[in-house]
Amino acid sequence: MLENNRNSFDIAYPFFGGYLHTKLFSIIMKHDICDMLETEENGLHYKEISKITKINENSIYRVMRYFIPFKLFTEKENGVFCKTEISTMFSGTFKALAKRYSNDYNYKLYDNIEESIMKNVNMGPEALGVEKYWDSFQKYPEYCKLYMDSMKSYSKLQIENILQNVDFSPYKSIADIGGSHGLLIKEILDNYQSIAGINFDLKCVLDKSPLKETPRLSLVNGSFFDQVPKANCFILKNILHDWDDEHCIKILQTVIKSMDQDSKIMIIDYIIEPKQYKTQQLFTDIIMLHCYNGKERTKEDWDQLFEKANLKRDKIISNVEAGCQILSLK
Ligand SMILES: C[S@@+](CC[C@H](N)C(=O)[O-])C[C@H]1O[C@@H](n2cnc3c(N)ncnc32)[C@H](O)[C@@H]1O
What is the DSSP secondary structure assignment for residue 128, as one 8-state letter? T
User: For 35-44, what is the mean pLDDT?
Assistant: 89
In CATH, what number does 104-329 get? 3.40.50.150
- Residues recognised as catalytic: 241
Atom of ligand 1 nearest to the CA of 236: 6
pLDDT of residue 157: 81
CA dist 239 and 294 (Å) reads: 10
- State the greatest distance between any 2 C-alpha atoms of the chain, in Å, as a whole number: 70
The pLDDT tens digits of the residues spanning 228-269 come to 999 999 999 999 999 999 999 999 999 999 999 889 999 999
- Mutate which of 188, 238, 241, 295 for ligand 1? The one with the most ligand atoms within 8 Å of its CB, which is 238
User: For 148-171, what is the mean pLDDT?
Assistant: 88
Residue 278 Cα, ligand 1 centroid: separation in angstroms?
23
Residue 60 Cα, ligand 1 centroid: separation in angstroms?
38
Indicate the domain borders of the chain: 2-92, 104-329
Residue 104 Cα, ligand 1 centroid: separation in angstroms?
22
Average pLDDT, the chain: 91
pLDDT of residue 17: 94
CA dist 71 and 58 (Å) reads: 20
Quick check: 177 and 236 in contact, CB under 8 A?
yes
Model confidence band, residue 325 (pLDDT cutoffs 50, 70, 90): low
CA dist 199 and 166 (Å) reads: 19
The pLDDT tens digits of the residues spanning 169-222 come to 999 999 999 999 899 999 999 999 999 999 999 998 898 888 999 999 999 999
pLDDT of residue 327: 61
The pLDDT tens digits of the residues spanning 262-318 come to 899 999 999 998 888 989 899 999 999 999 999 999 999 999 999 999 998 888 876
Instruction: Give me the half-sphere count of Cα atoms (radius 13 Å) on the Cβ side of residue 271.
Output: 18
Is the domain covering 2-92 a CATH 1.10.10.10 domain?
yes
Residue 237 Cα, ligand 1 centroid: separation in angstroms?
8
CA dist 132 and 291 (Å) reads: 8
- Specify the higher pLDDT residue, 25 or 272: 25
How far from 139 is each of 30, 31, 131, 132, 183, CA to CA, in Å?
21, 24, 11, 11, 25
Quick check: 61 and 46 in contact, CB under 8 A?
yes
Atom of ligand 1 nearest to the CA of 224: 20
Q: Whose CA is nearest to atom 19 of ligand 1?
A: 223
Residue 317 Cα, ligand 1 centroid: separation in angstroms?
22
Q: Residue 123, Cα to own-chain centre: how many angstroms?
A: 20
pLDDT of residue 39: 84
Model confidence band, residue 131 (pLDDT cutoffs 50, 70, 90): very high
Greatest mean pLDDT among 133-142, 155-164, 176-185 lies in 176-185
pLDDT of residue 160: 85
pLDDT of residue 154: 84
Among 235, 263, 261, 240, residue whose Cα is nearest residue 250: 240
CA dist 51 and 145 (Å) reads: 28
Residues with Cβ within 6 A of ligand 1?
A: 134, 151, 155, 178-180, 201-202, 205, 223-225, 237-239, 242
- Mutate which of 131, 234, 239, 284 for ligand 1? The one with the most ligand atoms within 8 Å of its CB, which is 239
pLDDT of residue 330: 59
Atom of ligand 1 nearest to the CA of 176: 6
The pLDDT tens digits of the residues spanning 53-99 come to 999 999 999 999 999 999 999 998 889 999 999 999 999 989 999 99
